[in-house]
């Protein structure tokens, strides 16, 4: 009861504070404002004697951020500086990264305190990471700009609700983010107090002795080391997130390794093949040496062929085959000095634990289960309660819903994160691993930045995230005041357009983007949703307008251009299905035996080179393609870019072919001729 009352008071306090001061993300556990202010002008950043490199890094970041807001330099000094000062005080060890068994709460290593009054300020923590998180909060507290920039009088005591707050980036299903982009993601996540970055690799890391595996689509070990060092400075632990059972087609498609798969050139290992055991052991040793993290994620999700494997291997019980292989891999990981984690398919993926509930009690007590599900559900207890009953540690894994979509669906994302994190905490989860998948291979992942931030915020706060105010708070902290409101509205409209399009054409909107809109079932849906398609386009157009305004005022080259691409793609998708429905209506209106006048009407509405509907589609398609290509190259290497640009070229060819076919028909059409049906005329992919 006391805990519930505390949460209620925190929530009520947060509502009041948002109205009066800058919205803070995550919302501190305890915060009280005073009436005074501390001007940034004339301030310095003070460090106690003998500061560590980590302390200096935090002070430099605070100095850089506040100096930009103040329009003048706030120097970092040690000793006893003159004048008002923001002092950083670490009372314990450096303790820069999460350990294997961290805890959350007000006494945790990540907790910090902030005191601000009109005469100066202090950030105090038992560790360097706590100081760093105090710096992130103080950056958010600043109000005003240049000569008017100041910090409000305040007292803050803050700590994480969950000890581990990670984000997993998919480096295998889709594009390959550049090294620079990964560092940008880590910078971004650290702002919101995330402390883990899961490096998902099926075969995307260079390993000695495997030169044939993905040479164009992998990171060198030196690149990985640089990423790890970069993340450590920001108190983010880079955790290897591997696949050591299934999802290994990138290996088995190579003839040298094809027979290590249960089915040659398949995706899952043959668990009884001794060469497979040697490969897995070698990989674990190499990756354990490369990644300093105390944790190692070994995969084991979606073993779709488990039952087939049991049959092919002589009638072995599938559950026994799975648990035996899991235990063998866990033992190898523990021998390498790491704590193992694995994907737990409860009622997701291959539903292994639902099919074989006896597996819960057979899990080694040292392992960390990672139950995952990405749908918004009223209750997630069935995913986490069974592990809690068996005293198996767990980290819950929601997701940013965007892997098969034109733009992220933030309604699904926020509901999934909120519900799963809440039930995870209820059943004692260690943390949250928000997942970022790129299955369709086409997503520009910077579109997902708000979802990445939301996952980190939800893992830190005790109070639920105010999802209805999130875009406003996020935009206020990400963008200058003159752009923040526009970006908040744009994100809201973008998400609404994505939701609307999903309802009209079905889920997996990125696939619908390329599909033939004149296929009978799709055309029927388009014709029955013309008004909804117009509304979807209006939402996408408002998002474009707002984003164009924000770009003009900020010159942001990181997070806004890809959102503009998303808005244009949603607009094109709506136009494509709307125009298909309208064109079908025109054909129906003139009948099968139209006059020359009717044919002229059809030509003007469809194939006119200047203002016909197909010309509109070709215009928007080609202009958006170039924006997409540019945005891709800002984030990713050229690995798989040719595949994705090929889709745009095929889309262009479809409409160009259709336009020429109609032009030929209309040019030679005579009164009395029979007009072919759209089904006969449409290009067949």
The two tokens of residue 596 are 């020359």
Other CB atoms within 10 Å distance of the CB of residue 336? 16
Return d(Cα 427, Cα 16) in angstroms, integer: 31
pLDDT value of position 371: 98
Question: pLDDT (tens digit, 9 = 90+) per residue, 492-542?
Answer: 999 999 999 999 999 999 999 999 999 999 999 999 999 999 999 999 999
30-39 and 431-436: which strand pairing?
unpaired
> Is residue 48 very low, low, confident or very high in pLDDT (cuts 50, 70, 90)?
confident
Return d(Cα 632, Cα 163) in angstroms, integer: 34
431-436 and 393-396: which strand pairing?
parallel
Predicted confidence (pLDDT) at residue 254 exceeds the cutoff of 50: yes
- Phi, psi for 87 (deg, rounded to 5): -100, 135
> Is residue 326 very low, low, confident or very high in pLDDT (cuts 50, 70, 90)?
very high
Predicted confidence (pLDDT) at residue 4 exceeds the cutoff of 90: no
Return d(Cα 253, Cα 202) in angstroms, integer: 13
Q: How far is CA 517 from CA 115, 435, 505, 660, in A?
A: 60, 32, 10, 18
Cβ contact 29:10 at 8 Å = yes
- Taking each helix axis from N to C terminus, what angle separates 53-70 and 128-141, rounded to the nearest 10 degrees? 0
Q: What does DSSP assign to residue 604? A: H
> Is residue 435 very low, low, confident or very high in pLDDT (cuts 50, 70, 90)?
very high
**Domains and their CATH numbers in the chain:** 2-158 (3.30.379.10), 164-465 (3.20.20.80), 481-681 (1.20.120.670)
Question: pLDDT (tens digit, 9 = 90+) per residue, 190-215?
Answer: 999 999 999 999 999 999 999 999 99
Q: What does DSSP assign to residue 236? A: -
HEC-encoded secondary structure of 113-170: EEEEECCEEEEEECCHHHHHHHHHHHHHHCECCHHHCEEEEEEEEECCCCCEEEEEEE
Question: For residues 81, 87, 93 and 99, what is the CA-based torsion angle, rounded to 10 degrees?
Answer: -140
What would the mean pLDDT of 63-79 be, rounded to a whole number? 94
The two tokens of residue 269 are 């290992």
Cβ contact 153:37 at 8 Å = yes
What would the mean pLDDT of 267-273 be, rounded to a whole number? 92
Name the residue with tokens 């909804």.
532
Question: pLDDT (tens digit, 9 = 90+) per residue, 670-679?
Answer: 988 999 999 9
pLDDT value of position 81: 75
**Predicted TM-score of the model (pTM):** 0.95
Question: pLDDT (tens digit, 9 = 90+) per residue, 74-125?
Answer: 999 997 777 899 999 999 999 999 999 999 999 999 999 999 999 999 999 9
Q: What is the DSSP string of 332-380?
A: HHHHTT-EEEEEE-SSSTT-HHHH-TTHHHHS-TT-EEEEB--S--S--
What would the mean pLDDT of 17-33 be, rounded to a whole number? 87
Ramachandran region, residue 482 (left: φ > 0; alpha: ψ -120 to 50; beta: rest): alpha
> Is residue 685 very low, low, confident or very high in pLDDT (cuts 50, 70, 90)?
low
Q: What share of the chain is helix, strand, coil (3-state, %, to 5)?
A: 50, 15, 35
Question: pLDDT (tens digit, 9 = 90+) per residue, 465-487?
Answer: 999 999 999 999 999 999 999 99
Closest CA to 120 of 37, 32, 31, 49: 37
Buried b (16+ CB within 10 A) or exposed e, 8-34: eebeebbeebbeeebbbbbbbbebebe
């Amino acid at each position: 009861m006391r805990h519930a009352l505390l949460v209620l008071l925190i929530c009520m306090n947060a509502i009041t504070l948002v109205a009066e001061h800058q919205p803070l993300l995550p919302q501190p556990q305890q915060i009280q404002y005073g009436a005074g202010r501390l001007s940034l002008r004339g301030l310095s950043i003070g460090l106690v004697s003998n500061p560590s490199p980590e302390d200096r890094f935090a002070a430099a970041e605070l100095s850089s951020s506040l100096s930009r807001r103040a329009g003048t330099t706030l120097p970092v000094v040690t000793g006893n500086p003159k004048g008002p000062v923001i002092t950083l005080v670490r009372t314990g060890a450096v303790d820069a990264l999460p350990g294997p068994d961290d805890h959350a709460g007000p006494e945790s290593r990540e907790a910090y305190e902030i005191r601000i009054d009109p005469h100066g300020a202090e950030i105090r923590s038992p560790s360097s990471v706590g100081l760093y998180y105090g710096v992130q909060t103080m950056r958010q507290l600043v109000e005003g700009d240049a000569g008017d920039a100041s910090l409000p009088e305040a007292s803050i005591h803050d700590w994480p609700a969950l000890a581990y707050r990670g984000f997993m980036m998919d480096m295998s299903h889709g594009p390959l983010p550049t090294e620079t982009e990964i560092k940008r993601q880590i910078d971004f996540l650290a702002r919101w107090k995330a402390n883990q970055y899961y490096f998902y690799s099926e075969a995307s890391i260079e390993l000695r002795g495997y030169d044939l595996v993905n040479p164009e689509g992998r990171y060198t070990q030196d690149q990985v080391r640089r990423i790890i060092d970069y993340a450590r400075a920001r108190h983010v632990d880079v955790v290897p997130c591997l696949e050591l059972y299934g999802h290994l087609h990138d290996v088995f498609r190579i003839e040298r390794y094809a027979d290590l798969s249960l089915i040659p050139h398949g995706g899952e290992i043959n668990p009884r093949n001794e060469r497979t055991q040697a490969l897995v052991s070698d990989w674990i040793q190499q990756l354990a040496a490369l990644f300093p993290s105390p944790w190692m994620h070994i995969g084991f999700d979606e073993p779709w062929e488990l039952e087939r494997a049991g049959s092919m291997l002589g009638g072995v019980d599938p559950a026994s085959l799975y648990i035996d292989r899991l235990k063998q891999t866990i033992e190898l990981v523990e021998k390498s000095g790491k704590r193992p984690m694995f994907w737990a398919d409860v009622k997701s993926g291959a539903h292994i634990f639902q099919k074989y509930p006896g597996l819960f009690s057979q899990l080694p007590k040292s392992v960390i289960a990672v139950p995952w599900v990405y749908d918004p559900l009223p209750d997630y207890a069935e995913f986490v309660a069974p592990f809690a009953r068996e005293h198996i540690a767990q980290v819950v894994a929601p997701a940013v819903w965007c892997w098969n979509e034109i733009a992220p669906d933030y309604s699904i994302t926020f509901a999934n994160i909120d519900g799963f994190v809440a039930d995870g905490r209820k059943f004692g989860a260690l943390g949250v691993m928000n997942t970022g998948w790129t299955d369709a291979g086409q997503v520009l992942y910077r579109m997902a930045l708000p979802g990445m931030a939301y996952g980190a915020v939800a893992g830190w706060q005790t109070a639920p995230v105010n999802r209805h105010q999130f875009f406003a708070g996020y935009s206020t902290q990400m963008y200058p005041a003159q752009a923040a409101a526009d970006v908040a509205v744009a994100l809201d409209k973008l998400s609404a357009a994505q939701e609307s399009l999903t309802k009209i054409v079905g889920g997996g909107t990125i696939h619908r983007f390329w599909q033939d809109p004149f296929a009978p079932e799709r055309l029927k849906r388009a014709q029955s949703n013309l008004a909804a398609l117009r509304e979807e386009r209006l939402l996408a157009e408002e998002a474009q307008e707002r984003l164009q305004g924000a770009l003009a005022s900020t010159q942001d080259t990181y997070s806004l251009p890809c959102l503009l691409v998303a808005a244009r793609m949603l607009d094109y998708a709506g136009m494509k299905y709307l125009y298909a429905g309208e064109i079908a209506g025109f054909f129906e209106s003139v009948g099968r035996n139209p006059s020359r006048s009717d044919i002229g009407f059809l030509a003007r509405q469809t194939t006119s080179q200047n203002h016909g509907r197909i010309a509109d589609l070709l215009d928007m398609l080609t202009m958006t393609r170039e924006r997409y290509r540019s945005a891709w190259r800002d984030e990713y290497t050229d690995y798989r870019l040719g595949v994705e640009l090929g889709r745009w070229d095929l889309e262009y060819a479809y409409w160009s072919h259709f336009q020429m076919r109609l032009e030929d028909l209309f040019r030679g059409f005579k009164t009395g001729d029979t007009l072919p049906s759209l089904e006969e005329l449409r290009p067949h992919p």
